[in-house]
Amino acid sequence: MERVIIHVDMDYFYAAIEEREDPSLKGKAVVVCMYSNRGGSGGAVSTSNYVAREAGIRSAMPCKLARSKKPDAVFLPVRKEFYEEVSAKIMEILRSNADSEEAFEKISIDEAFLEISQSCSGDYDLARDIGHKIKEEVRSQEEITCSVGIGPNKLIAKMASSFRKPDGITVVRPEDVQTFLGPMTVKKLWGIGKVTEERLTEMGIRTVSELASYDVMELISVFGKNKGMWLSQAAMGIDGTAVKERTATDQIGRMASLEHDSRDENMIFTLMDELIDDVISKVKARKVSFRSVTVTVIFSNFKTSTKSRTLGHAVSDISILSENAKEMMKQFLEESTMNFRRIGVRVDNLQENTGQKSLFDF
């Protein structure tokens, strides 16, 4: 079956969250700034909404310069932890639309790839429907708009999502890849940096189609084997890399959906046992201990909630994980009335085992 990949990127993400939290900001220019810790007027723009962009304000620009371009804009400080929480909820919505748990790859705080080859059976009309469904879910659950790109691989999907922004959807079928990419300037090709762009310009290569028809051996002689090959393939719209979650190194966790949305304790605790077994076998394989346990519940309305506990000692013991995780899950059941959709168990604060067993291991 042909691969179909979706890339989703939130629109003016930090500023969109601030607008959502304070509706009086709507229609105004909003600039979210990362102020330097020296205080004063230093610092750079993290992002701005589209009203501010019309005034020429851009990410990474000094906040001072942004202020001079639009003195009546609202300047707000970055609230990274809060944006991370919103991001986690959005990522769960996105993940739930992928072919499987594993067919998902978050690539930054506001964007991810999902493979949907199976759910759309390779049909691009169905893929577009899934794209619209995702946009609607993100809008209704989190009041944020996003832009969606759909294509036969990650490279094309990523470039498609930025083609129409904000609130866009762009579908590039395999037969349209050349038409889509060809006229773009090489710097638009995902993965090409400033240095490469300049080198290509010196070689007289301006557009992606010029790069695609350039002799690959020449490219290799200039850029080396890997990069030269990659440039040539990317320009032809070829990208064989898989959608695959990057494993976090500082935590070990597993999530899974219940068979159907439910509050049935039997079903929930049975699934928890599976997740706990899995987490512990990874803990053992990596020869680490953990000092905190987190349980996540995603409710049937996609609202996400987590509880964490920090333990007195680092342990790698299944009974301690199980006891703590299940107590937290019981609290979730007591505090809520809604059905559960997905649950997760995670350990973090990892420490390498030194070889000496702690008391808890006996």
Binding stretches for Mg ion (CB under 5 A):
9-10, 13, 110-111
Q: Hey, what are 203's tokens?
A: 């070689």
Residue 166 or 182 with smaller CB distance to ligand DCP = 166
Residues 78-107 that bind ligand DCP (CB under 6 A): none
Q: Which of 20, 64, 165, 286 is close enough to bind ligand DCP by CB under 6 A?
A: 165
Q: Are 151 and 172 in contact (CB under 8 A)?
A: yes
Residue 11 or 239 with smaller CB distance to ligand DCP = 11
Q: Which of 31, 46, 155, 186 is close enough to bind ligand DCP by CB under 6 A?
A: 46
Helix (H, G, I), strand (E, B) or coil at 47: strand
Q: Which of 18, 19, 105, 111 is catalytic?
A: 111
Q: How distant, in Å, are the alpha carbons of 185, 203, 228, 235, 336 from that of 192?
A: 11, 15, 12, 11, 48
Q: Alpha-carbon distance 56 to 109, whole Å?
A: 24
Binding mask 244-273 for ligand DCP (x = CB under 6 A): ------------------------------
Q: What residue 60 binds from ligand DCP, Mg ion, none (CB within 5 to 8 A, per partner kind)?
A: ligand DCP
Q: Alpha-carbon distance 163 to 170, whole Å?
A: 7
Q: Which of 18, 105, 110, 239 is close enough to bind ligand DCP by CB under 6 A?
A: 110
Binding segment for ligand DCP (CB under 6 A), chosen from 6-14, 130-138, 259-267, 308-316, is 6-14
How many residues touch ligand DCP (CB under 6 A)?
Answer: 14
- 109 scored as a contact of ligand DCP (CB under 6 A): yes
Q: Does the annotation mark 111 as catalytic? A: yes
Q: Are 246 and 104 in contact (CB under 8 A)?
A: no
Minimum distance from residue 111 beta carbon to Mg ion (Å) = 4
Minimum distance from residue 112 beta carbon to ligand DCP (Å) = 11
Strand-pairing partners, residue 33, are 45, 77
DSSP of 212-271: HTS-HHHHHHHH-HHHHHHHHHHHTT-------PPPPSSEEEEEEEEEEEE--HHHHHHH
Q: Which of 62, 122, 166, 182 is close enough to bind ligand DCP by CB under 6 A?
A: 166
Q: Alpha-carbon distance 353 to 259, whole Å?
A: 36
Query: Could you list the active site residues?
Result: 111
